[in-house]
Amino acid sequence: MASRAAVSVLIVEDEGIIARNLQETLSGLGYDPFGIASTSVQALALASERCPDVVLIDIRIKGEPDGIATAQLLKDRFDLPLIYLTAHADGATLERAKKTEPYAYLVKPVKPQELHSAIEIALYKHAMDRRLRERERWFSTTVRSIGDAVITVDLSGKITFMNAVAEALLGLTLEETQGKLARDVLRVRGHGLQAGEGPLEQALREKRVVQFPGMVLEGAGGAGLAIADSAAPVIDDGQLLGAVMVFHDVSEQQRLQKQLEVADRLASLGTMAAGVAHEINNPLSVVIANAEFVLEQLSASPPTSPASPQAALDAQAELLSAASRIARIVADLQAFSRPEASRSRAVDVRTPIEWAIRSTVHEFRHRSRLSTTLDRVPRVDADEIKLGQIFVNLLLNAAQAIPPGNVDANEVSIVTRTAQDGAVVVEVSDTGEGIAPEALSHIFEPFFTTKPLGVGTGLGLSICHGLVAAMGGKLDVESRPGRGTIFRLTLPAGVEAALPSSLPPRVLTTLRGRLLIVDDEDMVLRALARVLSEHQIVSKDQAREALALIESGERFDVIFCDLMMPNMTGMDFYEALLRQKPELASRVVFLTGAVMTSKVASFLDAVPNRRLHKPFDVDNLRALVQELLSALAGGTESRPTSD
């Protein structure tokens, strides 16, 4: 037993004979019973002089405090393993002793072997407890030091721990949230969550790791913070103990991602510019030639030939068709470049595919045939503009993978189909040069490109991959050198929007009203006045003049106002009208040629007014006026009259 000589024991016992007997027994067992104390003061003094490895303490000792209180002092000051030796085993004494967390409670008289076993177990358990506390302290310090927010909950979903980053993001301390339900403290919204349930609750219910890359953490005042998070169940030896959630602020990351998306779109616009110019110049030639022909025919007196009226009508029809084609091309470019906020809704993927094809068709003219098999598929919950950006990138990549000069031998195809699980699949394939195996694993990395210097930015596929992931889908690629490439986009099916059971009844009445048109382009003013001639029209080329007219008492049933004008914009005009004549502000219809700034886009998002995009369809324009006049006639201000 000589190996146990280093184990020192402090005896706290006020009965001298019992204390010396214990000392002899301990020495015989190989321990070092270096001191005997009969009072609390002596025990604390001896422990201070030489910190023992273990303390044997009687519950009843001389003076105050008693043995239990002394044991608590020794434990708090020196972190010592305690073993009670007492003749008192009543319930009240036992309950008091338990609160000091002793390692053994022995009733006198104690046999040597029982004493030896109690000391050995106390030493072992104390060492294990110390290691556990050190590990817990290390774990706690580590979790508090990491840059991500960490929250843990118990089986009932109540918060048990929260680090400093989580406190900062939530604006609450651990003391304020501990014991509260996580779903009441951590209010998040996003795809994939059930009503009344958060990530932690879902991890507890499903007993698996759940990830949510596009969550919004709701703060005070309704403010939202973009976060990426994951939650996992805490399972030990098959037993569920709780759940942990780790999340971080991705607002700056999303801002940079949006900047990259815009940069990629602008780069694509640059690539498309030459082809778009060609696409516009063809119909523009038709417009100019036919316009000159019609003007010549109408100016001639008498007409140059009997067939001239019909020829003029044919030319006018071609002029209208070519102008509509130009308008569609410009609208596609505007949609691709406008800085509007993301809007997810139920989208038929064939619409952005057709738009992307129209925007890139010139790239295929000298490279390959373009074939489409656009089967009807379920709608998806997505942003239509971002879907268009994805398809433009994939089509441009497919076209640029094929050298020009051998159109009949090459093909780019785009196919839509429904997967067995109901997901929507879009495949873009080409018969181009293919991608080398060593490059394939890097194809979605930012700035990685296999194209020559000056062709592409290396951002397109990376941004496409990120956009698809944000929509809850995936983007895969298959390629073999010399055999071509297939990009496969898979998106979960969305909720189909309910279609109206029948069309609304057609309004047969024709209402006439007093209309104000505000636009700095005289030709636009004259054109609108010409096609709306059945109404009383007042035209102004300055917003300030129009505002002064209204301030003087003039009233109008409908006000058409251009958004971008010098001196006073349509936005300023609307704000002034809202302050001075709020009942007329709701009658404003905004005319816009293009949403060119984020300020204009935000303004249009914020106001409930209708808008009319230039160039406008005459039938739609007249129908809109009738709709607005009908709504006004049904209200208290029934100014319009019907024929």
> Is 245 in contact with 151 (CB distance < 8 Å)?
yes
* Predicted confidence (pLDDT) per residue in 576-607, tens digit: 999 988 889 999 999 887 655 667 877 888 89
- pLDDT, mean over the chain: 80
Only one residue has tokens 């422990």, namely: 47
Question: CA-to-CA distance for 177 and 186, rounded, in angstroms?
Answer: 10
What mean pLDDT is predicted for residues 42-54?
A: 91
* pLDDT of 258 higher than 80: no
* pLDDT of 262 higher than 90: no
How many Cα atoms are found within 13 Å in the side-chain-facing hemisphere of 24?
7
Assigned token pair, 628: 């607005």
pLDDT given for residue 506 in this prediction? 46
Return the number of other C-beta atoms located less than 10 Å from residue 52's C-beta: 23
Only one residue has tokens 């349930």, namely: 197
Of residues 311 and 236, the one with the higher pLDDT is 236
pTM of the model: 0.46
Where does the chain hold its CATH 3.30.565.10 domain(s)? Answer: 340-494
Question: CA-to-CA distance for 14 and 39, rounded, in angstroms?
Answer: 7
pLDDT given for residue 301 in this prediction? 57
DSSP tag of 221: G
* pLDDT of 186 higher than 70: yes
Per-residue pLDDT band for 348 (boundaries 50, 70, 90) equals very high
Residues 6+ apart with CB under 8 A from 326: 280, 283, 284, 287
CATH class in words for 511-642:
alpha beta
The kind and range of the H/E element at 94 are helix 91-98
Question: CA-to-CA distance for 13 and 545, rounded, in angstroms?
Answer: 104
* Predicted confidence (pLDDT) per residue in 473-501, tens digit: 899 999 888 889 999 999 998 865 444 44
Domain 252-337 belongs to what architecture?
Orthogonal Bundle (1.10)
Residue 389 gets the label, from left (phi > 0), alpha (psi -120 to 50) or beta, of: alpha
Where does the chain hold its CATH 3.30.450.20 domain(s)? Answer: 147-249
Question: CA-to-CA distance for 68 and 60, rounded, in angstroms?
Answer: 8
Is the domain defined by 147-249 classed in CATH 3.30.450.20?
A: yes
Only one residue has tokens 């290691």, namely: 131
pLDDT given for residue 338 in this prediction? 54
pLDDT given for residue 83 in this prediction? 92
Closest CA to 246 of 276, 213, 269: 213
Domain covering 2-141 in this structure, CATH number: 3.40.50.2300
- Of 144-158, 373-387, 410-424, give the lowest mean pLDDT range: 144-158
pLDDT given for residue 454 in this prediction? 47
What mean pLDDT is predicted for residues 605-611?
A: 88
- Give the chain's largest Cα–Cα span: 145
CATH superfamily, domain 340-494, is: Histidine kinase-like ATPase, C-terminal domain (3.30.565.10)
Checking 433-442 for CB contacts under 8 A at 24+ apart, the result is 433/401, 433/402, 433/403, 433/481, 433/482, 434/401, 434/479, 434/480, 434/481, 434/482, 434/483, 434/484, 434/485, 435/477, 435/479, 435/481, 435/485, 436/481, 437/481, 440/477, 440/479
Per-residue pLDDT band for 2 (boundaries 50, 70, 90) equals very low
Question: CA-to-CA distance for 108 and 86, rounded, in angstroms?
Answer: 6
Question: CA-to-CA distance for 554 and 548, rounded, in angstroms?
Answer: 9
Only one residue has tokens 């778009």, namely: 276
Strand partners, 484: 480
Per-residue pLDDT band for 535 (boundaries 50, 70, 90) equals very high
Closest CA to 42 of 58, 26, 24, 25: 58
Return the number of other C-beta atoms located less than 10 Å from residue 637's C-beta: 11
Of residues 333 and 359, the one with the higher pLDDT is 359
* Predicted confidence (pLDDT) per residue in 554-569, tens digit: 999 999 999 888 889 9
Assigned token pair, 135: 């590990």
Provide the percentage of residues in the chain whose pLDDT is more than 90: 23
Per-residue pLDDT band for 445 (boundaries 50, 70, 90) equals confident
Of residues 261 and 480, the one with the higher pLDDT is 480
What mean pLDDT is predicted for residues 512-528?
A: 89
Closest CA to 276 of 336, 338, 350: 336
Only one residue has tokens 């300023």, namely: 572
pLDDT given for residue 636 in this prediction? 44
Per-residue pLDDT band for 279 (boundaries 50, 70, 90) equals low
* pLDDT of 234 higher than 90: no
Per-residue pLDDT band for 418 (boundaries 50, 70, 90) equals very high
> Is 227 in contact with 215 (CB distance < 8 Å)?
yes
> Is 379 in contact with 496 (CB distance < 8 Å)?
yes
* pLDDT of 260 higher than 70: no
The values of phi and psi at residue 414, to 5°, are: -130, 125
pLDDT given for residue 505 in this prediction? 44
The kind and range of the H/E element at 517 are strand 514-518
pLDDT given for residue 499 in this prediction? 41
- Of 296-300, 302-306, 446-450, give the lowest mean pLDDT range: 302-306
pLDDT given for residue 497 in this prediction? 45
What mean pLDDT is predicted for residues 507-522?
A: 83
For the CA atoms of 600, 603, 608, 613, what is the dihedral angle to 10 degrees?
0
Provide the percentage of residues in the chain whose pLDDT is more than 70: 78
What mean pLDDT is predicted for residues 404-410?
A: 88
pLDDT given for residue 498 in this prediction? 42
The values of phi and psi at residue 366, to 5°, are: -110, 10
Residues 6+ apart with CB under 8 A from 8: 31, 32, 33, 34, 50, 52, 53, 54
* pLDDT of 615 higher than 90: no
Per-residue pLDDT band for 639 (boundaries 50, 70, 90) equals very low
* Predicted confidence (pLDDT) per residue in 169-180, tens digit: 888 888 888 899
Where does the chain hold its CATH 3.40.50.2300 domain(s)? Answer: 2-141, 511-642
What mean pLDDT is predicted for residues 87-99?
A: 79
Q: Which amino acid is at 369?
A: R
pLDDT given for residue 248 in this prediction? 80
